[in-house]
């Protein structure tokens, strides 16, 4: 497209976005469980059995002490990055710390050395001893909730995680395809880091909630489920409950049928307690599945039921995400082809007009040819005078856009967050905080609805202006589809729901702590900023598409005038110029047809790469 001058600003931006989306689109799967449910062992069994040993620490006790994200970034060498727990004492949000790599402790990883890899990853389980006051400042000690506090040692010290967050970057086949694993610590640590529950877990495309098959749903399990994992939208496809450790029910004194009946009863009971369909509960033995993979014991692997879980992850959760992405790709490429096709059609029509003019001059004398040149020059002058209308259209367009940018810009959002922060930082119990949250989100929703109204006004204006220009100048302008704010309104609702859990009477004492309230608002600001920036990006691309389309057709029309005048000049200068010019236009038409065929061929290939629903995807192959 660039070689053939078809790559205008809007098409270039669309291609860049599609490319970025393909490369960076991530599928985050969060593994959530209370301590000692076999979560790390399950991650080893599903993702790292190929190493022939455990990679994530999975010994008895609290193995994952800090939230750990595992993914792949080609621009970063294989490494483990650890954020010190002391950063909680500073006001920056977790997302802000991600932008300051020098504050993280980095350990390079040798992905071809399982021993070094496992040894390095053991650091996510590291702890340190602090005083009660330090634990309170870090968010791990609450006088009002003594049952949730960690135990004191003989010297009155408290054990807390050494690290606040861990990022693991390795080139595992699944991670290279865009999978991100979020390994979360247990209940106390989840509650102490609001960004985990208001940002990371709600944004995960899938959540695997792990229970013990021998214990079923315990009180602490139910607490995590109700506080952090229930979705009001009723989207059970994104929630998978795993009853782990079914091997504890394998009893030599019971028949296989009796064991299976016991497992089935636990699945039914779990589904009823959690209020989810029975097919969203899977019973497995991660430990036996890992052993079976390492020892190539197919019978044990089938008995562990690990392949059932892998199929649910690959074909269900992640497969659905992949299909959404490929549908977006197909839609984007189709739109791109339509935009470029309009420019090619303009060129074809201009060549046809030139050919008719040139053939009309065959057999005519010099006076007729000179008159033709004068007429083309007059048409060009009249067209240039019409530029005032186009300028007026752009002025109104930009005025409305500036209002949109003001609504979605960072200044307006900071003002909203400052109001909410002031309410949260009031001394004592924040009895009116839920109302303040509701009013803030009501205003944010009203802002998005105002943006939708403004976009509708711009769209109506563009459609009317384009129709007029098409009629007057023979253009083929078509107003691009206006951006829809419905998705961002849904995102706002989801963010609000994920924060509401902290506003009840049960968290009143946590909210009374300025540090906790500040972290909560900073986590909220980060998510809202992401929503606003994405919405603004959609509006900018839409605006750029309309402007670039107009620019492209204006440019083609001006080139057409130049080519027509140049052709007449060449005919006047040489007797054989007319036939040469007709032949030249013929060749241009043939070349343009070849460009169009190549464009269709390439875009057909890209669109065809969209797989129909139900087709196995690469993730299944990687599991196998």
Output the pLDDT for position 192.
Answer: 58
Q: Is residue 550 part of a domain?
A: yes
Overall average pLDDT of the 13-28 stretch: 78
Output the pLDDT for position 183.
Answer: 87
pTM, whole model, 2 decimals?
A: 0.69
pLDDT > 70? residue 588:
yes
pLDDT > 70? residue 308:
yes
Overall average pLDDT of the 291-312 stretch: 92
CA distance 543 to 539: 6
| 268: confidence class by pLDDT, cuts 50, 70, 90 | very high
Q: Is residue 481 part of a domain?
A: yes
pLDDT > 80? residue 203:
no
State which of 14-28, 169-183, 241-255, 347-361 shows the largest mean pLDDT.
241-255
pLDDT > 60? residue 191:
no
Q: Is residue 510 part of a domain?
A: yes
- For residue 269, give every residue at least 6 positions away whose Cβ sits within 8 Å of its Cβ, in sequence order, or none: 216, 217
CA-wise closest residue to 527 among 225, 236, 86, 197: 197
Q: Is residue 188 part of a domain?
A: no
pLDDT > 60? residue 62:
no
Output the pLDDT for position 66.
Answer: 83
Overall average pLDDT of the 599-613 stretch: 76
Q: What is the mean pLDDT of the chain?
A: 81
pLDDT > 80? residue 507:
no
Output the pLDDT for position 615.
Answer: 43
State which of 4-18, 389-403, 520-534, 561-575 shows the largest mean pLDDT.
520-534
Residue 403: domain span: 385-571
Overall average pLDDT of the 204-213 stretch: 88
Q: Exposed, middle or buried by CB within 10 Å (0-12, 13-18, 19+), for 358?
A: buried
pLDDT > 80? residue 81:
yes
3-class SS string, 586-620: HHHHHHHHHHHHHHHHHHHHHHHCCCCCCCCCHHH
Q: Is residue 291 part of a domain?
A: no
Q: Is residue 374 part of a domain?
A: no
Strand 27-33: give its sheet, edge to edge.
Answer: 105-108, 79-84, 163-169, 68-71, 179-183, 27-33, 206-212, 239-244, 281-283
Quick one: what percent of the chain has pLDDT higher than 70?
85
Task: Evaluate whether 161 touches 88 at the Cβ level (below 8 Å).
Answer: no
pLDDT > 50? residue 116:
yes
Quick: pLDDT tens for 460-482: 888 888 888 888 877 888 888 88
551 vs 443, which has greater pLDDT? 443
Output the pLDDT for position 430.
Answer: 56
Q: Is residue 391 part of a domain?
A: yes
Quick: pLDDT tens for 335-350: 888 878 888 888 888 8
Quick: pLDDT tens for 385-413: 766 677 777 777 788 788 888 999 888 88
CA distance 450 to 199: 26
**Residues forming beta bridges with residue 209, ordered by sequence position:** 32, 241
520 vs 618, which has greater pLDDT? 520
CA distance 148 to 59: 23
Output the pLDDT for position 55.
Answer: 85
**Residues forming beta bridges with residue 108, ordered by sequence position:** 79
Rounded to 10 degrees, what is the CA torsion of 159, 183, 68, 197? -80
Quick: pLDDT tens for 435-456: 888 888 999 999 999 999 999 9
Output the pLDDT for position 558.
Answer: 83
Q: Is residue 553 part of a domain?
A: yes
pLDDT > 60? residue 286:
yes
Output the pLDDT for position 617.
Answer: 40
State which of 298-307, 412-421, 499-508 shows the largest mean pLDDT.
298-307
In angstroms and rounded to an integer, the radius of gyration of the C-alpha atoms of the chain is 32
Overall average pLDDT of the 483-502 stretch: 82
| 613: confidence class by pLDDT, cuts 50, 70, 90 | very low
Overall average pLDDT of the 34-40 stretch: 83
| 235: confidence class by pLDDT, cuts 50, 70, 90 | low
CA-wise closest residue to 531 among 451, 455, 453: 451
Domains identified in the chain, total number: 1
pLDDT > 70? residue 506:
no
Quick one: what percent of the chain has pLDDT higher than 90?
18
Rounded to 10 degrees, what is the CA torsion of 50, 55, 61, 62? -120
108 vs 153, which has greater pLDDT? 108
Output the pLDDT for position 543.
Answer: 85
Output the pLDDT for position 551.
Answer: 81
Task: Evaluate whether 386 touches 473 at the Cβ level (below 8 Å).
Answer: yes
Output the pLDDT for position 187.
Answer: 53
CA distance 35 to 483: 45
Task: Evaluate whether 243 touches 212 at the Cβ level (below 8 Å).
Answer: yes
What letters, b where the CB count within 10 A reaches 16 and e where it falls short, cover 121-141? bebbbebbebeeebbbbbbbb
């Amino acid at each position: 497209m660039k070689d053939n001058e078809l790559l205008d600003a809007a098409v270039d931006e669309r291609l860049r976005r599609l490319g970025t989306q393909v490369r960076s689109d991530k599928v985050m799967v969060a593994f959530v469980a209370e301590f000692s449910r076999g979560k790390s062992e399950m991650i080893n069994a599903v993702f790292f059995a190929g190493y022939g040993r455990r990679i994530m620490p999975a010994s008895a006790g609290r193995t994952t002490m800090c939230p750990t994200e595992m993914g792949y970034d080609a621009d970063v060498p294989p490494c483990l990055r650890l954020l010190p727990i002391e950063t909680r004492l500073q006001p920056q949000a977790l997302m802000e710390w991600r932008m300051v790599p020098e504050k993280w402790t980095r350990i390079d990883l040798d992905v071809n050395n399982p021993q070094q890899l496992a040894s390095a990853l053991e650091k996510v389980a590291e702890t340190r001893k602090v005083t009660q006051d330090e634990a309170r400042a870090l968010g791990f000690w609450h006088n009002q909730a003594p049952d949730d506090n960690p135990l004191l040692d003989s010297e009155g010290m408290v054990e807390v995680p050494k690290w606040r967050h861990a990022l693991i970057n390795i080139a595992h086949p699944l991670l290279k395809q865009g999978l991100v694993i979020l390994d979360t610590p247990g209940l106390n640590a989840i509650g102490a880091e609001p960004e985990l529950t208001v940002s990371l877990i709600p944004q995960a495309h899938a959540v695997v909630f792990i229970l013990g098959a021998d214990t079923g749903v315990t009180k602490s399990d139910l607490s995590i489920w109700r506080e952090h994992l229930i979705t009001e939208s009723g989207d059970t496809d994104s929630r998978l409950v795993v009853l782990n450790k079914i091997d504890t029910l394998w009893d030599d004194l019971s028949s296989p049928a009796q064991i299976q009946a016991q497992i089935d009863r636990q699945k039914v009971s779990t589904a009823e307690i959690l209020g989810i369909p029975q097919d969203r509960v899977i019973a497995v033995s991660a430990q036996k599945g890992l052993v079976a993979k390492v020892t190539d014991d197919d019978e044990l692997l089938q008995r562990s039921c690990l392949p059932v879980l892998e199929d649910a992850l690959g074909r269900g959760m992640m497969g659905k995400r992949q299909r959404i992405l490929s549908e977006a790709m197909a839609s984007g490429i189709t739109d791109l082809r339509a935009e470029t096709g309009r420019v090619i059609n303009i060129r074809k029509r201009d060549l046809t007009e030139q050919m008719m003019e040139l053939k009309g001059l065959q057999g005519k004398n010099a006076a007729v040819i000179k008159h033709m040149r004068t007429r083309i020059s007059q048409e060009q002058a009249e067209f240039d005078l019409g530029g005032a209308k186009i300028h007026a259209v752009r002025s109104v367009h930009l005025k409305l856009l500036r209002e949109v940018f003001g609504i979605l810009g960072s200044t307006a959002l900071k003002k909203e967050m400052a109001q909410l922060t002031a309410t949260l930082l009031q001394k004592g119990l924040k009895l009116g905080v839920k109302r303040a949250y509701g009013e803030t989100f009501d205003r944010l929703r009203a802002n998005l609805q105002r943006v939708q109204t403004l976009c509708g006004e711009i769209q109506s204006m563009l459609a009317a202006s384009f129709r007029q220009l098409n009629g007057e100048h023979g253009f083929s302008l078509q107003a691009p589809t206006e951006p829809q704010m419905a998705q961002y309104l849904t995102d706002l609702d989801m963010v609000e729901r994920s924060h509401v859990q902290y506003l009840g009477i049960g968290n009143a004492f946590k909210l009374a702590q300025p540090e906790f309230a500040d972290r909560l608002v900073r986590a909220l600001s980060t998510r809202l900023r992401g929503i606003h920036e994405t919405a603004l990006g959609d509006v900018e691309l839409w605006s750029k598409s309309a402007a670039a389309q107009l620019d492209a057709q204006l440019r083609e029309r001006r080139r057409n005038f130049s080519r027509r005048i140049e052709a007449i000049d060449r005919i006047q200068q040489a007797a054989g110029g007319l036939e040469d010019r007709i032949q030249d236009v013929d060749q241009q038409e043939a070349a343009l047809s070849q460009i169009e065929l190549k464009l269709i061929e390439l875009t057909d290939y890209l669109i065809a790469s969209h797989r129909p629903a139900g087709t196995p995807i690469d993730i299944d192959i990687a599991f196998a």
